[in-house]
Amino acid sequence: MKKVLVLEDEAAIRSFLVINLKRSGYEPLEAGTGAEAFEQLRLNPDVKVALLDIMLPDTDGFEVCRKIRASGSKMGIIMLTARTQEMDKVTGLMTGADDYVTKPLASIAELTARVDALYRRVGGDDLAETGEVVRGPFRLNTRNRTLEKNGERIRLTQVEYAIVKLFMDNPGKALSREEILASVWGEDYVGDLKIVDVNIRRLRLKVEDDPQTPSCITTVWGYGYKWGF
Ligand code: CA
Protein backbone atom coordinates (compact mmCIF):
# COMPACT_ATOMS: atom_id res chain seq x y z
CA MET A 1 0.00 0.00 0.00
CA LYS A 2 1.11 3.53 -0.73
CA LYS A 3 1.26 5.11 2.70
CA VAL A 4 0.95 8.84 3.18
CA LEU A 5 1.32 10.53 6.55
CA VAL A 6 -1.30 13.24 7.15
CA LEU A 7 -0.26 15.55 9.98
CA GLU A 8 -3.05 18.05 10.56
CA ASP A 9 -4.57 19.03 13.90
CA GLU A 10 -7.90 20.25 12.55
CA ALA A 11 -10.01 17.10 12.45
CA ALA A 12 -12.31 18.33 9.68
CA ILE A 13 -9.46 19.15 7.33
CA ARG A 14 -7.66 15.95 8.24
CA SER A 15 -10.61 13.71 7.47
CA PHE A 16 -11.21 15.59 4.23
CA LEU A 17 -7.63 14.86 3.19
CA VAL A 18 -7.85 11.27 4.36
CA ILE A 19 -11.05 10.54 2.43
CA ASN A 20 -9.65 11.98 -0.76
CA LEU A 21 -6.28 10.26 -0.48
CA LYS A 22 -8.09 6.95 0.05
CA ARG A 23 -10.11 7.62 -3.07
CA SER A 24 -6.84 8.13 -4.95
CA GLY A 25 -5.53 4.76 -3.85
CA TYR A 26 -3.39 5.78 -0.89
CA GLU A 27 -3.35 4.51 2.66
CA PRO A 28 -3.37 7.66 4.80
CA LEU A 29 -1.93 7.54 8.32
CA GLU A 30 -3.40 10.18 10.58
CA ALA A 31 -1.66 12.35 13.12
CA GLY A 32 -2.92 15.42 14.98
CA THR A 33 0.30 16.31 16.76
CA GLY A 34 4.00 16.15 16.06
CA ALA A 35 4.35 13.37 18.63
CA GLU A 36 1.66 11.30 16.91
CA ALA A 37 3.35 11.89 13.57
CA PHE A 38 6.66 10.50 14.80
CA GLU A 39 4.86 7.54 16.36
CA GLN A 40 3.20 6.81 12.99
CA LEU A 41 6.54 7.05 11.21
CA ARG A 42 8.12 4.73 13.78
CA LEU A 43 5.36 2.16 13.20
CA ASN A 44 5.38 2.67 9.43
CA PRO A 45 8.93 3.03 8.14
CA ASP A 46 7.63 2.57 4.60
CA VAL A 47 5.86 5.95 4.45
CA LYS A 48 6.97 7.63 1.23
CA VAL A 49 5.10 10.95 1.38
CA ALA A 50 4.08 13.19 4.28
CA LEU A 51 1.65 16.12 4.36
CA LEU A 52 2.62 18.45 7.18
CA ASP A 53 0.45 21.19 8.60
CA ILE A 54 2.46 24.08 10.02
CA MET A 55 0.55 25.29 13.09
CA LEU A 56 0.33 22.35 15.50
CA PRO A 57 -0.48 22.08 19.21
CA ASP A 58 2.89 20.68 20.31
CA THR A 59 5.31 21.82 17.62
CA ASP A 60 5.26 23.23 14.12
CA GLY A 61 5.42 21.53 10.75
CA PHE A 62 8.82 23.02 9.90
CA GLU A 63 10.31 21.43 12.99
CA VAL A 64 8.73 18.07 12.09
CA CYS A 65 10.13 18.40 8.58
CA ARG A 66 13.57 19.26 9.94
CA LYS A 67 13.54 16.22 12.21
CA ILE A 68 12.42 13.88 9.44
CA ARG A 69 15.29 15.11 7.27
CA ALA A 70 17.74 14.94 10.19
CA SER A 71 16.87 11.25 10.52
CA GLY A 72 18.20 10.77 6.98
CA SER A 73 14.79 10.16 5.42
CA LYS A 74 14.33 11.10 1.78
CA MET A 75 10.54 10.79 1.86
CA GLY A 76 8.53 13.33 -0.08
CA ILE A 77 7.27 16.18 2.10
CA ILE A 78 4.45 18.57 1.25
CA MET A 79 3.80 21.47 3.61
CA LEU A 80 0.19 22.50 4.15
CA THR A 81 0.51 26.24 4.51
CA ALA A 82 -2.44 28.28 5.72
CA ARG A 83 -0.97 31.48 4.41
CA THR A 84 0.50 32.29 1.07
CA GLN A 85 3.43 34.33 2.37
CA GLU A 86 6.69 33.70 0.61
CA MET A 87 8.30 33.44 4.02
CA ASP A 88 6.56 30.14 4.75
CA LYS A 89 7.77 28.75 1.47
CA VAL A 90 11.34 29.81 2.07
CA THR A 91 11.31 28.39 5.58
CA GLY A 92 9.83 25.17 4.26
CA LEU A 93 12.52 24.86 1.63
CA MET A 94 15.22 25.53 4.20
CA THR A 95 13.90 22.71 6.35
CA GLY A 96 13.79 20.29 3.45
CA ALA A 97 10.21 20.31 2.15
CA ASP A 98 9.61 19.33 -1.47
CA ASP A 99 6.36 21.09 -2.17
CA TYR A 100 3.55 23.22 -0.72
CA VAL A 101 -0.16 23.32 -0.81
CA THR A 102 -2.01 26.37 0.40
CA LYS A 103 -5.08 26.01 2.59
CA PRO A 104 -7.95 26.26 2.06
CA LEU A 105 -7.38 23.84 -0.78
CA ALA A 106 -8.41 25.25 -4.13
CA SER A 107 -8.91 21.75 -5.44
CA ILE A 108 -8.38 18.29 -4.09
CA ALA A 109 -7.32 17.20 -7.58
CA GLU A 110 -4.36 19.53 -7.32
CA LEU A 111 -3.31 18.04 -4.01
CA THR A 112 -3.59 14.44 -5.16
CA ALA A 113 -1.73 15.32 -8.38
CA ARG A 114 1.12 16.67 -6.26
CA VAL A 115 1.12 13.65 -4.00
CA ASP A 116 1.18 11.42 -7.10
CA ALA A 117 4.06 13.39 -8.62
CA LEU A 118 6.08 13.30 -5.42
CA TYR A 119 5.36 9.64 -4.90
CA ARG A 120 6.74 8.90 -8.34
CA ARG A 121 9.77 11.09 -7.75
CA VAL A 122 10.76 9.41 -4.51
CA GLY A 123 10.48 6.06 -6.24
CA GLY A 124 7.28 5.17 -4.48
CA ASP A 125 6.05 3.23 -7.46
CA ASP A 126 7.03 0.09 -5.74
CA LEU A 127 9.27 -1.94 -7.98
CA ALA A 128 8.19 -5.14 -6.29
CA GLU A 129 4.52 -4.35 -6.92
CA THR A 130 4.61 -2.98 -10.43
CA GLY A 131 7.99 -3.89 -11.86
CA GLU A 132 8.32 -0.26 -12.84
CA VAL A 133 10.77 2.46 -12.02
CA VAL A 134 9.63 5.99 -12.81
CA ARG A 135 12.11 8.84 -12.89
CA GLY A 136 11.35 12.18 -14.48
CA PRO A 137 9.92 11.54 -17.97
CA PHE A 138 11.20 7.94 -17.97
CA ARG A 139 9.39 4.76 -17.08
CA LEU A 140 11.41 1.58 -16.99
CA ASN A 141 9.52 -1.68 -16.87
CA THR A 142 11.75 -4.42 -15.50
CA ARG A 143 9.26 -7.19 -16.32
CA ASN A 144 9.15 -6.67 -20.06
CA ARG A 145 12.45 -4.79 -20.16
CA THR A 146 11.04 -1.72 -21.82
CA LEU A 147 11.64 2.00 -21.51
CA GLU A 148 9.19 4.81 -22.14
CA LYS A 149 9.86 8.51 -22.32
CA ASN A 150 6.81 10.72 -21.82
CA GLY A 151 4.66 7.67 -22.51
CA GLU A 152 6.42 6.80 -25.78
CA ARG A 153 8.25 3.53 -26.15
CA ILE A 154 11.98 3.79 -26.84
CA ARG A 155 13.40 0.76 -28.58
CA LEU A 156 16.52 -0.44 -26.80
CA THR A 157 19.00 -3.22 -27.37
CA GLN A 158 19.56 -5.57 -24.41
CA VAL A 159 22.85 -3.82 -23.68
CA GLU A 160 21.24 -0.38 -23.78
CA TYR A 161 18.47 -1.59 -21.49
CA ALA A 162 21.05 -2.91 -19.03
CA ILE A 163 22.85 0.45 -19.04
CA VAL A 164 19.64 2.40 -18.40
CA LYS A 165 18.68 -0.02 -15.62
CA LEU A 166 22.11 0.44 -14.03
CA PHE A 167 21.71 4.23 -14.18
CA MET A 168 18.23 4.10 -12.69
CA ASP A 169 19.43 1.86 -9.89
CA ASN A 170 21.99 4.53 -9.07
CA PRO A 171 20.12 7.84 -9.28
CA GLY A 172 22.35 10.90 -9.36
CA LYS A 173 25.52 8.84 -9.02
CA ALA A 174 28.44 9.17 -11.40
CA LEU A 175 29.35 5.71 -12.70
CA SER A 176 32.83 5.00 -13.95
CA ARG A 177 33.25 3.43 -17.38
CA GLU A 178 34.87 0.44 -15.65
CA GLU A 179 31.82 0.02 -13.39
CA ILE A 180 29.46 0.20 -16.35
CA LEU A 181 31.55 -2.29 -18.31
CA ALA A 182 31.76 -4.75 -15.41
CA SER A 183 28.07 -4.48 -14.59
CA VAL A 184 26.67 -4.66 -18.13
CA TRP A 185 29.18 -6.85 -19.94
CA GLY A 186 30.29 -8.86 -16.92
CA GLU A 187 33.47 -8.96 -14.85
CA ASP A 188 35.08 -11.41 -17.25
CA TYR A 189 34.57 -9.34 -20.35
CA VAL A 190 37.86 -8.66 -22.04
CA GLY A 191 37.57 -5.65 -24.21
CA ASP A 192 38.01 -1.99 -24.66
CA LEU A 193 36.30 0.59 -22.50
CA LYS A 194 35.38 2.31 -25.75
CA ILE A 195 32.49 -0.09 -26.10
CA VAL A 196 30.90 1.78 -23.18
CA ASP A 197 31.32 5.12 -24.95
CA VAL A 198 29.92 3.75 -28.20
CA ASN A 199 26.81 2.44 -26.46
CA ILE A 200 26.33 5.64 -24.48
CA ARG A 201 26.55 7.63 -27.71
CA ARG A 202 23.89 5.44 -29.32
CA LEU A 203 21.74 5.58 -26.20
CA ARG A 204 21.88 9.37 -26.21
CA LEU A 205 20.46 9.42 -29.74
CA LYS A 206 17.46 7.57 -28.34
CA VAL A 207 16.84 9.22 -24.97
CA GLU A 208 18.05 12.80 -25.28
CA ASP A 209 15.93 15.69 -26.52
CA ASP A 210 19.12 17.04 -28.08
CA PRO A 211 21.91 14.43 -28.28
CA GLN A 212 24.44 17.20 -28.97
CA THR A 213 23.82 18.74 -25.55
CA PRO A 214 22.87 15.75 -23.43
CA SER A 215 20.91 16.33 -20.26
CA CYS A 216 19.90 12.74 -19.43
CA ILE A 217 23.33 11.13 -19.68
CA THR A 218 26.03 13.61 -18.85
CA THR A 219 29.74 12.98 -19.20
CA VAL A 220 31.87 13.10 -16.08
CA TRP A 221 35.22 13.94 -17.64
CA GLY A 222 38.00 11.48 -17.08
CA TYR A 223 35.64 9.20 -15.17
CA GLY A 224 32.41 8.08 -16.71
CA TYR A 225 28.76 9.02 -16.96
CA LYS A 226 25.86 10.17 -14.87
CA TRP A 227 22.13 9.79 -15.38
CA GLY A 228 20.20 12.97 -14.70
CA PHE A 229 16.88 11.45 -13.57
CA1 CA B 1 -3.09 23.60 12.28
The enclosing domain of 186 has a CATH number of: 1.10.10.10
On whether residue 128 sits in a domain, the answer given is no
Q: Rounded to the nearest whole angstrom, what is the distance from the C-alpha of residue 76 to the centroid of ligand 1?
A: 20
Examine the domain organization and report whether 150 and 82 are in the same domain: no
% residues pLDDT > 70 (the chain): 92
User: Is the confidence at residue 129, as pLDDT, over 70?
Assistant: no
Q: What is the mean pLDDT of residues 191-196?
A: 87
On whether residue 129 sits in a domain, the answer given is no
Domain boundary at 62, 90, 121, which? 121
User: Is the confidence at residue 215, as pLDDT, over 80?
Assistant: yes
Q: Rounded to the nearest whole angstrom, what is the distance from the C-alpha of residue 62 to the centroid of ligand 1?
A: 12
Q: What is the mean pLDDT of residues 74-98?
A: 76
User: In the sheet where 174-176 sits, what is the strand order?
Assistant: 174-176, 224-227, 217-220
Least trusted range by pLDDT, from 50-64, 103-117, 121-135: 121-135
Q: What is the mean pLDDT of residues 107-115?
A: 86
Domain carrying residue 202:
134-227
Examine the domain organization and report whether 81 and 30 are in the same domain: yes
Q: Rounded to the nearest whole angstrom, what is the distance from the C-alpha of residue 80 to the centroid of ligand 1?
A: 9
On whether residue 203 sits in a domain, the answer given is yes
User: Is the confidence at residue 60, as pLDDT, over 70?
Assistant: yes
Q: How confident is the model at residue 213 (pLDDT cuts 50, 70, 90)?
A: very high
C-alpha 110/C-alpha 198 separation (Å) is 43
Q: What is the mean pLDDT of residues 72-91?
A: 76
CA 110 to chain centre: 18
Mean pLDDT of the chain: 87
Buried b (16+ CB within 10 A) or exposed e, 34-55: bebbbebbeeeeebbbbbbbbe
Q: How confident is the model at residue 192 (pLDDT cuts 50, 70, 90)?
A: confident
